[in-house]
């Protein structure tokens, strides 16, 4: 049992209820331009402060010009999260002074005074029990439902680079506004998570969802970020900000649970506050109290008139939306007759699923191809994964240089040429290693099945003459035939057809 | 006419002379520059000049005309721009120490449109800091003086825009009107100024004071000059999401055609009555003039005007407190470096440069937006605002235009009201109505008081009915030409 399990088991004994809620920020990286101006959404290749204009620098007199595509992208996210979309939306100003905000207010949405946000009251379900305290696999098929409070569209601030990590030691800090004004979708959940594991599963699910929607590329650094609210034993909620990756999210929750439990154990009140995750020291650090931050002086953004989406908007977005994982899974099960288990594995990663679909274009045999992907390909990827080659928010299909065509040909070889598994795996490995087509390999390497009976009979005779006792044994023990088959397989590296070999063994034994 | 006195003529007359090559644009601009140099030291209407560029531009226009190329509505006409409207390459101070060194890298849409019509930006005009004031006393560059009497205020916040036009320095200017900032100084200086319908003129490049209330508008000495400038700047702008696609071409119709329209005029008698006696007397005279034309006239009232001032100041200061947040001298502003500061103290240091009136309004606005007070102030103010809109809707079902004074009082002496905020704010009580309702409003010169101070009459019309205001101005201007009321300076 590792320390993480201990924390959770400990919690059970203490009977402290754990409530976790998330605020996920997702940049709409597939938009061409920023939320309110013509600067590029892709700020990552620009020199500092190059990807800016009078609007995103908040120069006097500039006005925000709403990117309508951003509203559509955000709506797709809402629909994927089963949110309601109101007929009218509006923007609000959140006022606070910080150097990364060019206008010293953020244009966002706010639901306290009216329903202003693009989405509200959604929910998302996934497999993996949020109540499972250990890795108990029996529970893992249970479905967990997380309620989505709201989805809102807002602008990303700029980025501050500090001279030193310790802010007190700073002589200067540098501000880069290239990111300022990039479209950001904030997804706020209800505190429905009861374990850090559920948070991890959820985050993987939604990153996958973003990829299916084609709204964001999660592999870009900082494109999907997450703040966490944690409360233990019905106490005050503590927000953790500044978490750089999903792996750190889980760690920060474990830390925060321990911290709050320790306070409770010593009868110290947990203060409602915002804490920052210190990635190096793996601790949360107090940043500011909730009272301090509530004064944002929200009011409706006067420069962007209320946006009337209308009644047809939602259905229009819905028809233009790409296939979602849940829909794709249904299709795999119903049309391709793939098992739910396999289908789930395929759709869990859009690129794997796309890979599968592309393979089908070369050889329409869904079951065989899906087996190759799930049993062979993913195993290889997982092995590489464990060697630590994955990056922060993504899974590593890129690690292997293998094409959908190669997998399709493998399926074809097995089906048409009745190639046995061992041989097939050999060819597959060779194919991945060299990049050569499996169909070509089988010709050039001349390892097609030994199907001429004379050769097989020759092998049988060799075995029987080296181990003559087998002839006697076969008369009393019917399993001897299988033993002999095993020896043949070993000798031929599995290249004989077992049915033919069995018949020939029987014939040879009878002949003697 | 002697060439030297070309500055006295209306712009449309001079522009025709330029097009017909009777005079060159360059000659005209040179005369205007001379006039500004001779006069403005007594008025203080300009913050900065654009003389060299203006001369270059005038030569280009002359060249165009010589080559037979078509020129625009404003060919060769100098236009003064209020210093809160962005002109590329020029200082844009908003009359604030906060923006003492800020130069705009882009043109406001209205400025581009003026240049498209071959108008010439001659300089930037003085104002109350960030547009906050009714007297143009709250300027970091000193108060604008009333051309009729330099001891008195010119009105505000577009004081420079009105005073420069009234004192025959320039024929045309742009101001901005958040709660009367075009009409008040128009009234105090005896020029004609219009606040267009909200959404009919682009605000792109106008440095926001209160976004939901303000519009850019033209000022001139005669309606015949005002209309070409209004036509030049009006219309939908893809750079301002609050503009409305409803382009209309305004005309200066002749009196007979106007009278055929049989306008029904509502007179807000109660508001006339509540004004200083000379103002009331003058406005009644204007009513009489319209009556003499045969217009149908009826007394009416607006019941909610009582709540308008509170509603206006809550909304305006709330928006201002947020709009002015961006001034922290990190990206632009004044000479001064953040080196050696921790940033909260730098914010504090830089923001102390605002003038007192601006600070007062930021504080007020921050207060009304505070978490617990939103419903009590801001939401309530918006409720009043929508009720006022409704009341105007009803009134405009009955009347084509409404008549009331622009200002309840004559211009105060410089320094007289600046230390009494409430009295100062009360001067806005008749002008803010149009801003709250988003409707167009015009201030038309009405004549002079016994002591020789100008009095204005204000006309309101329903949204996008500027033509009715222009028609009313034509009627009044044709009784007694406005050129009879030119200050001696």
Q: Sketch the domain layout of chain A as residue ranges.
A: 3-315, 323-444, 453-511
Residue-wise pLDDT tens digits, A317-337: 999 999 999 999 999 999 999
- For residue B157, whether the previous peptide bond is cis, meaning omega lies within 30 degrees of 0, is yes
Chain A touched by B99 (CB under 8 Å): yes
Which tokens belong to A472? Answer: 């006697």
Is the CB of residue A232 less than 8 Å from the CB of residue A345?
A: no
Residue A322 in tokens: 């790409």
- pLDDT-based confidence at residue A393 (cuts at 50, 70, 90): very low
Q: What three-state secondary structure class fits A350?
A: helix
What are chain B's domains?
Answer: 1-235+256-489 (3.90.1300.10)
Residue A59 has what pLDDT? Answer: 98
List active site positions of B. 82, 157, 181
Listed by number, the residues of chain B in 105-144 with a beta carbon closer than 8 Å to a beta carbon of chain A are 105-106, 108
Q: What pLDDT shows up at residue A136?
A: 45
Q: How confident is the model at residue A141 (pLDDT cuts 50, 70, 90)?
A: low
pLDDT at A392 over 70: no
Q: Report angle CA A261, A267, A271 to the nearest 5 degrees.
A: 70
H and E: helices and strands count for chain A: 18, 15
Task: Quote the pLDDT of residue A347.
Answer: 92
Torsion of CA B67, B73, B77, B80, to 10 degrees: -140
Tell me, which fold does domain A453-511 have in CATH? Arc Repressor Mutant, subunit A (1.10.10)
The chain-wide mean pLDDT, for chain A, equals 86
Q: How far apart are the first and last CA of chain A?
A: 60
**Interface contact flag, B241 A93, Cβ < 8 Å:** no
Q: Closest approach of chain A CAs to the CA of B489, in angstroms?
A: 35
DSSP string, A222-246: TSEEEEEEEEETT---EEEE---SH
Subunit contact A61:B379, Cβ cutoff 8 A:
no
Strands A183-189 and B401-405: unpaired
* pLDDT in the model for residue A453: 77
Residue A276 has pLDDT above 60, yes or no: yes
Q: Are B408 and B274 in contact (CB under 8 A)?
A: yes
* Cα–Cα distance for residue pair A114/A111, rounded to 1 Å: 5
Instruction: Please report the sign of the dihedral spanned by the C-alpha atoms of residue A38, residue A41, residue A42, residue A44.
Output: positive
pLDDT at A135: 46
Question: Which residues does chain B have with pLDDT short of 70?
Answer: 1-2, 418
Residue in A95, A113, A302 closest to B211 by CB: A302
- pLDDT of A5 reads 52
What share of chain A has pLDDT > 70, as a percent?
A: 87
CA distances from B379 to A364, B188, B326 (A): 63, 34, 24
Q: In what order do the strands lie in the sheet with A105-108?
A: A105-108, A92-95, A299-300
| For residues A142-152, average pLDDT | 93
Give the minimum alpha-carbon distance from B279 to chain A in angstroms, rounded to a whole number: 35
Query: For the ranges A261-270, A278-287, A398-407, B139-148, which has the lowest average pLDDT?
Result: A398-407
Q: What pLDDT, in 10s, does the model give residues A38-51?
A: 999 999 999 999 99
Do B321 and A297 make contact, defined as CB atoms within 8 angstroms? yes
For B239, the closest chain A residue by CA position comes to A65
Quote ipTM for the complex: 0.95
What does each C-alpha distance from B321 to B98, B421, B434 come to in angstroms?
Answer: 15, 18, 22
| Element (DSSP H or E) covering residue A154 | strand A143-155
Check CB contact under 8 Å for B242 and A303: yes
A115-133 pLDDT per residue, tens: 999 999 999 998 764 444 4
Contact B99 A60 (CB under 8 A): yes
Residues from chain B that touch A296, judged by Cβ atoms under 8 A, are 371
Beta carbons of A299 and B211 less than 8 Å apart: no
pLDDT value at position B247?
Answer: 73
Residue A302 has pLDDT above 90, yes or no: yes
CB contact under 8 A, B326 and A104: yes
* DSSP annotation string for B384-423: HHHHHHHHHHHHHHH-SEEEEES-SSPPPBTTTSTT-HHH
pLDDT digits (tens, 9 = 90+) for B35-75: 999 999 999 999 999 999 999 999 999 999 999 999 999 99
How would residue A444 be classed by pLDDT, with cut points 50, 70 and 90? low
Secondary structure (3-state) at A287? strand
Nearest to B241 among A61, A295, A304 (CB): A304
User: Which residues of chain B make contact with A304, given a CB cutoff of 8 A?
Assistant: 241-242
Whether the predicted pLDDT of A365 surpasses 70: yes
A237 burial class (0-12, 13-18, 19+ CB within 10 angstroms)? middle
Confidence of residue A497 (pLDDT cuts 50, 70, 90): confident
Scanning B263-370, the segments in alpha helix (DSSP H) are 269-273, 277-292, 305-323, 343-351, 356-369
- Helices B305-323, B380-398: axis angle to 10 degrees equals 130
Nearest chain A residue to B244 by CA distance is A305
Cα-flanking dihedrals φ and ψ of residue A477, to 5°?
-120, 110
Residue A391: per-residue pLDDT: 45
Alpha carbons B280 and B272: distance in angstroms, whole number: 5
Q: A459, A505 in Cβ contact below 8 A?
A: no
DSSP B236-275: --TT-TT--S---------HHHHHHT--EEEEEHHHHHTS
Number of C-alpha atoms within 13 angstroms, CB side, residue B9?
A: 18
- End-to-end C-alpha distance for chain B, whole angstroms: 19
**pLDDT score at A400:** 66
Locate A379 and state its tokens: 């195993």
User: CA-nearest residue of chain A to B348?
Assistant: A97
Q: Is the pLDDT of residue A476 over 50?
A: yes
pLDDT of residue A385: 67
* Interchain CB contact of B82 with A (< 8 Å): no
B374/A105 CB distance under 8 A? no
Other CB atoms within 10 Å distance of the CB of residue B212: 22
So what's the pLDDT on residue B282? 97
Q: Is B345's Cβ below 8 Å from some Cβ in A?
A: no
Contact of B314 with B478, CB cutoff 8 Å: no
């Amino acid at each position: 049992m590792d320390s993480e399990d201990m924390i959770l088991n400990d919690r059970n004994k203490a009977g402290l209820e754990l409530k976790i809620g998330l605020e996920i920020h997702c940049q709409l990286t597939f938009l061409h331009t920023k939320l309110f101006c013509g600067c590029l959404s892709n700020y990552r290749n620009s020199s500092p402060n190059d990807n800016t204009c009078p609007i995103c620098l908040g120069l006097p007199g500039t006005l925000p010009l709403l990117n309508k595509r951003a509203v559509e992208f955000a709506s797709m996210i809402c629909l994927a999260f089963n949110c309601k979309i109101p007929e009218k939306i509006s923007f609000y100003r959140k006022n606070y002074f910080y150097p990364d905000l060019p206008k010293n207010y953020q244009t966002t949405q706010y639901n306290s005074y009216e329903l202003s946000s693009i989405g509200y009251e959604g929910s998302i379900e996934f497999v993996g029990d949020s109540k499972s305290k250990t890795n108990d696999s029996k529970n893992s098929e249970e479905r967990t439902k997380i309620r989505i409070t709201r989805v809102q569209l807002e602008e990303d601030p700029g980025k501050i680079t500090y001279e030193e990590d310790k802010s007190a030691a700073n002589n200067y800090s540098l501000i880069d506004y290239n990111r300022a004004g990039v479209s950001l979708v904030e997804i706020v959940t209800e505190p429905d998570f009861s374990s850090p594991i559920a948070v991890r599963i959820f985050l993987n699910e939604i990153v996958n969802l973003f990829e299916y929607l084609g709204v964001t590329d999660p592999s870009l650094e900082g494109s999907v970020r997450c703040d966490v609210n944690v409360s233990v034993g019905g106490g005050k909620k503590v927000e953790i900000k500044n978490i750089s990756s999903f792996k750190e999210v889980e760690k920060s929750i474990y830390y925060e649970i321990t911290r709050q439990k320790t306070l409770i154990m010593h009868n110290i009140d947990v203060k409602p506050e915002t804490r920052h995750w210190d990635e190096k020291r793996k601790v949360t650090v107090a940043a500011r109290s909730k009272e301090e931050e509530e004064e944002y002086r929200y009011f409706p953004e006067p420069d962007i008139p209320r946006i009337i989406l209308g009644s047809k908007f939602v259905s229009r977005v819905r028809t233009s939306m790409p296939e979602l994982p849940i829909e794709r899974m249904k299709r795999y099960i119903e049309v391709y007759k793939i098992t739910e288990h396999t289908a789930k594995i395929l759709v869990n990663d859009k690129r794997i699923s796309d890979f599968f679909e592309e393979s089908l274009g070369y050889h329409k045999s869904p079951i065989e191809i899906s087996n190759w992907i799930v049993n062979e390909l993913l195993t290889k990827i997982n092995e590489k994964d464990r060697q630590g080659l994955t990056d922060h928010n993504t899974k590593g299909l890129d690690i292997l240089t293998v094409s959908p065509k190669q997998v399709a040909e493998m399926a074809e070889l097995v089906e048409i040429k009745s190639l046995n598994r061992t041989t097939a795996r050999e060819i597959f490995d060779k194919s991945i290693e060299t990049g050569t087509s499996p169909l070509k390999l089988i010709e050039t390497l001349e390892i097609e099945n030994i199907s001429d009976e004379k050769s097989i009979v020759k092998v049988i005779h060799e075995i029987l003459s080296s181990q003559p006792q087998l002839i006697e044994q076969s008369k009393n023990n019917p399993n001897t035939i299988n033993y002999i088959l095993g020896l043949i397989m070993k000798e031929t590296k599995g290249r004989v057809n077992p049915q033919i070999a069995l018949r020939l063994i029987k014939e040879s034994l009878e002949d003697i | 006419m002697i060439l030297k006195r070309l500055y006295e003529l209306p712009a449309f007359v001079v522009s025709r002379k330029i097009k017909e090559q009777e005079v060159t644009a360059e000659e005209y601009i040179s005369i205007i520059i001379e006039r500004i140099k001779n006069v403005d030291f007594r008025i203080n209407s300009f913050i900065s000049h654009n003389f060299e560029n203006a001369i270059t531009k005038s030569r280009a226009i002359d060249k165009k005309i010589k080559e037979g190329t078509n020129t625009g509505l404003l060919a060769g006409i100098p236009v003064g721009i209020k210093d809160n409207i962005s002109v590329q390459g020029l200082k844009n101070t908003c009359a604030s120490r906060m923006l003492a060194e800020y130069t705009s890298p882009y043109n406001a849409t209205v400025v581009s449109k003026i240049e498209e019509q071959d108008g010439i930006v001659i300089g930037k005009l003085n104002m109350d800091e960030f547009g906050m004031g009714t007297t143009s006393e709250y300027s970091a560059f000193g108060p604008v003086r009333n051309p009729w009497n330099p001891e008195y205020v010119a009105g505000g916040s577009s004081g420079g825009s009105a005073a420069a036009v009234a004192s025959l320095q320039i024929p045309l200017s742009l101001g901005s009107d958040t709660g009367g900032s075009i009409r008040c100084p128009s009234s105090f200086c005896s020029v004609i100024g219009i606040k267009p319908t909200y959404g009919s003129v682009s605000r792109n490049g106008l440095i926001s004071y209160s976004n939901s209330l303000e519009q850019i508008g033209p000022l001139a000495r005669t309606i015949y000059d005002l209309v070409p400038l209004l036509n030049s700047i009006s219309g939908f702008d893809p750079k301002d999401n609050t503009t409305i696609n409803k382009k209309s071409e305004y005309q200066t119709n002749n009196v007979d055609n106007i009278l055929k329209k049989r306008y029904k005029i509502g007179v807000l008698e109660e508001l006339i009555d509540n004004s200083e006696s000379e103002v009331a007397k003058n406005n009644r005279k204007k009513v009489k003039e319209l009556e003499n034309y045969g217009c149908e006239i009826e007394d009416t009232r607006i019941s909610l005007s009582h709540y308008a001032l509170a509603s206006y100041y809550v909304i305006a200061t709330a928006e201002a407190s947020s709009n002015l947040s961006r001034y922290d001298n990190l990206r632009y502003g004044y000479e001064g470096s953040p080196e050696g500061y921790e940033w909260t103290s730098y914010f504090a240091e830089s923001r102390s440069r605002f003038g007192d009136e601006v600070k007062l309004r930021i504080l007020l606005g921050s207060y009304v937006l505070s978490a617990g007070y939103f419903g009590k102030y801001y939401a309530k103010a918006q409720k009043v605002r929508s009720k006022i809109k409704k009341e105007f809707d009803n009134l405009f079902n009955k009347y084509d235009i409404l008549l009331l004074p622009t200002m309840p009082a004559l211009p105060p002496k410089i320094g007289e009201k600046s230390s009494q905020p409430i009295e100062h704010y009360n001067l806005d009580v008749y002008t803010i109505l149009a801003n709250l309702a988003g409707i167009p409003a015009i201030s038309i010169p009405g004549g002079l008081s016994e002591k020789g101070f100008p009095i204005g009459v204000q006309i309101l019309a329903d949204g996008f009915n500027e033509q009715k205001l222009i028609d009313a101005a034509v009627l009044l201007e044709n009784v007694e030409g406005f050129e009879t009321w030119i200050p001696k300076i």
